[in-house]
Chains A and B, each alone.
Chain A
Amino acid sequence: MSAVPPVEVEHHENYLNTSYGVWSWLLTTDHKRIGLLYLVSVTFFFFVGGFFATLIRLHLMTPQGTLVDAATYNKMFTMHGVVMVFFFLIPAIPTVLGNFLVPLMIGAKDLAFPRLNLASWYIFNAGGLLMIYSVMRGGLDTGWTFYPPYSSLYSNTHVVSAVLGIFIAGFSSILTGLNFLVTVHTMRAPGMTWGRLPLFVWSHYATSIIFVLGTPVIAITLALVGIERIFHLGIFDPSLGGDPVLFQHLFWFYSHPAVYIMVLPGMAVTTELITTFSRKRLFGYGFVAAASIAIAVIGFFVWGHHMFVAGQSFYASMVFSILSYLVAIPSAIKVFNWTATLYKGSISWATPMLYGLGFIGLFVMGGMTGLFLSALGVDVHVHDTYFVVAHFHYIMVGGTVMAYLGGLHYWWPKMSGRMYPEGLAKFAAVVLFIGFNLTFFPQFVLGYLGMPRRYHSYSPEFQVLNVMSTAGASILAVGYLLPMAYFIWSMRYGPIAGPNPWPGTGLEWLTASPPPEKNFEVTPVVTWDAYDFPNRHDLKYPAPTPGFTPAQTWPPE
């Protein structure tokens, strides 16, 4: 706690205390308040999805399954997937951190369309409530992938209300993406050129492109499943003259880019963490920014790698394999640049940095195993096994969720005006890292051994690895509950943070914590590049320890 800057005693008016009452929140058009509204929503959905994950892991402790019957198990993994993907992973970073920070980082007063922003939140919750309704009515059992003809003809569960929920929530994504794109184009402060944008903004820009271009495709595709179910129009069901593989093409045309919707914002957060806690300019700014856009663009052309064994043509598979290797290159470039940024930095081991470094490690594991899946001959063996389950959890949970938590810790002082308890937070980060690896690493082994995914019971030789995974999940659960508890605690009892506790270089740190309603007292004028520690004369560092001369210090000699 000694690193906390001096307590700011005076009371200032900010976005949190400018008005009170339920309606001042439910009708707010302030992007910061909407960010917090989203924080409440996605946290709720995270714990709904996490509840199903807990049941899944408990059930799989024994080969015959300990907890529920086959039909119920199928509903649990489906609802875990649907809720986590569509109502947590896709919205989490853009709608919470993005909403809060994109205007602050570019020196704007709000997003371009504040009322549309509020409407997005309502639309998101409407979709989410329809999903919760489907769960309450008995759930659905199609897998989050909704493959027909199972989803359109054979399943007896609540498919129509569920796809309608996703359809509606999709509009929230589209509107949020649109809002970000227009804001970044038109509302940058004087001097905030494209070449000076923080990478957080670049990545959100890339994510927004996918939101706007990709989401309509999934919305229409799932609507068609609903239409086929209700009206028996032959679109995907072969017995009605449809083509089930067509569904897979349409579904993955969105759902693969959606992986980048989930991980690009995670990369965005990581870039901010690595630079701030190394107090160093980002190595290869232009390359990292270009890599974000390259990922967004190439990511639209790799969907067929989900269908190597689905009966698509041999030559199509070849093309999708080579493109999948190409999309890995920009991700590799990012990892190398982050690592190089650490070189000769002044590295702090504060909690957000632990998450940042954890992200790189887990993302590398997730990305490397992606190379296995892109290799046609190996994918034939590991496709639809636990290898795939482990791979995408490394990317989405190890990557996205780690970055999301790292970002929450990093910007928590800005959002709440207070610090979280540093020691406890470090402990939670380490618990999460250990729990995560223990949960998901054994699943790589299970996958190559040949255990298929979506099995409510399994062959006895897979038990030990499954028990390890369940043990890891219980540690992981502790790691998720701890931050929840101490963030709530810190809102009242945390030490006052001050405007720039780390200090960070982004414009968000130039204003008070929490920021005033209009973000800045005076619109900032930007005369420096992103992460330009050496030339930022305004940054205030704590006093040096007497008698110690570090290599590089501010002010320079």
Chain B
Amino acid sequence: MIADVPLFPESASHLSEQTDNLFWFLFGVSAFISVLIFLLIAVFAIKYHRRAPNEIGAPISGSLKLEIAWTVIPFVIAMIMFAWGARLFFNMAHPPPQAMQIFVVAKQWMWKAQHPEGRIEINELHVPVNRDVMLTMTSQDVIHDLFIPAFRIKADVLPNRYTSMWFRASKPGRYHLFCAEYCGTNHALMGGWVTVMEPADFEDWLSRGERGRSMVESGAVLFQNYKCANCHVEDGSGHAPSLMGVYGAPVRLTTGQTITADDAYLRESILNPRAKIVAGYRPEMPSFQRILNEEQVLQLIAYIKTMSAGKPLQTTGSELSNPAR
């Protein structure tokens, strides 16, 4: 039984190796310094063990040279650790632009992942091997945290905000997926599995199952059902600004400020439309806070992203996931 006890986690992403390298560097340096201190303490404690009850220690009260040495050397080592850690973190924080998108909504106590092509899975995440994958995540209630130990990544998932993380799985297999931020009673049960598949198997998996509409198609249906186009007229002549090509474009607000229309801005404009008003328009739009859930908001945004001049309203989902394809 003891022989089966794992002592080191499986490594299954391009990042996990880099994290482990830094870990072993930290381990080596700190083990060396710790053992040095332990040895010194042990040697001194034995060698200078009191031999007579009236013995006292040597009259030594310090050394400037030593003080400088053990201030400067640890400082230099610490800065190396900082720089290495920061470089790794920089990679983690900056997903490649071509990454495949998956959208995750967390709620007490489950993970719901939506693939742009339309497949939805609960407490499971299927991804292809050797491909950059970016997760865009939000929470329907409290703070959660998506943690995949084999990939050495985690990120908090917050209500009312999108956070993201990315990885490139390097080895097919099944790996733990945990919630790492305490979220209430069944926090420990809010987990599942990440399945890394060969690309062909993944395409096969995507096309199987009860395949509904793609995210963009679902978004288009919502767009029609809630009559968004009544005000958001294509040529800009309606009560509300045109949404053609709005994603990623600069938007001037009534405050005079200019911002970029990203996911967070679109989400806020749907759920809390009065927070930021486009210059030249009046705050007339009702809030969809209690009408749409987070998955539907993601679908609407997916659809809005596809809206650009000269494009038909109906598109296929795969275009969203990877513009380069």
Contacts and interface: CB of A to CB of B under 8 A. Distances in A.
A464 B3 CA distance: 10
B81 A371 contact: yes
Given A380-B154, A381-B152, A381-B154, A344 B60 contact: yes
Contact of A458 (B61, B71, B75, B188): B188
Interface in B110-139: none
A348 to B, nearest CB: 5
Contacts of B108: 154
A377 B82 contact: no
A318 interface: yes
B176 A321 contact: no
A409 interface: no
Nearest to A283: B62
Interface string A333-372: 1011101101111111100000001001100110011011
Contacts of B40: 339, 342
A376 interface: yes
Interface string A529-553: 0000110000001111100111111
A464 B2 CA distance: 7
A378 B26 contact: yes
B41 A357 contact: yes
Given A335-B37, A449-B9, A457-B189, A279 B26 contact: no
Contact of A149 (B33, B67, B141, B186): B141
Interface in B133-188: 141-143, 145, 147, 149-150, 152-156, 158-161, 163, 176, 178-188
Interface stretch (A6-14, A28-36, A164-172, A238-246): A238-246
Interface string A268-290: 00000000001111111111000
Given A280-B56, A534-B59, A544-B54, A374 B85 contact: yes
Given A279-B56, A347-B49, A377-B89, A329 B23 contact: no
Contacts of B183: 150
A344 B56 CA distance: 9
A344 B53 contact: no
A383 B153 CA distance: 10
Contact of B88 (A286, A310, A348, A377): A377
Contacts of A50: none
Given A378-B23, A544-B53, A461 B5 contact: yes
B98 interface: no
B179 to A, nearest CB: 7
A211 B222 CA distance: 55
A71 interface: yes
Contact of A348 (B7, B26, B50): B50
Contacts of B56: 279-280, 346, 533-534, 541, 552-554
A365 B9 contact: no
B148 to A, nearest CB: 8
Contacts of A553: 52, 54-56
A457 B182 contact: no
Contacts of A380: 19, 89, 92, 152-155
A455 interface: yes
B226 interface: no
A384 B89 contact: no
A458 B38 CA distance: 35
Nearest to A331: B74
B80 to A, nearest CB: 10
A421 interface: no
A21 interface: no
Contacts of A340: 63, 66
A161 interface: no
B58 interface: yes
B293 interface: no
Given A364-B34, A377-B18, A285 B62 contact: yes
Contact of B84 (A71, A337, A375, A541): A375
B180 A452 contact: yes
A62 to B, nearest CB: 13
A81 to B, nearest CB: 11
A328 B73 CA distance: 12
A244 B158 contact: yes
Contacts of A454: 182, 187-188
Contact of B78 (A326, A339, A364): A326
A145 B143 CA distance: 13
A375 B147 contact: no
B19 A381 contact: yes
A506 to B, nearest CB: 16
A325 B81 contact: yes
Contacts of B152: 380-381
A339 B187 CA distance: 44
Nearest to A325: B78
Given A318-B86, A541-B53, 16 more contacts: A150-B142, A238-B158, A238-B159, A244-B143, A308-B89, A342-B48, A346-B55, A381-B149, A384-B147, A384-B181, A448-B9, A454-B188, A457-B189, A461-B6, A464-B5, A541-B56
Interface of B: 1-2, 4-9, 18-19, 22-23, 26-27, 30, 33-34, 37-38, 40-41, 44-45, 48-63, 66-67, 70-71, 74-75, 78-79, 81-82, 84-93, 108, 141-143, 145, 147, 149-150, 152-156, 158-161, 163, 176, 178-189
7 contacts: A74-B185, A150-B183, A280-B58, A343-B44, A347-B48, A377-B89, A450-B150
Kindly list the 10 A-B residue pairs having the minimum CB-CB distance in the complex, ordered from nearest.
A450-B149, A377-B88, A280-B57, A375-B85, A376-B89, A238-B160, A368-B30, A541-B54, A550-B55, A455-B188
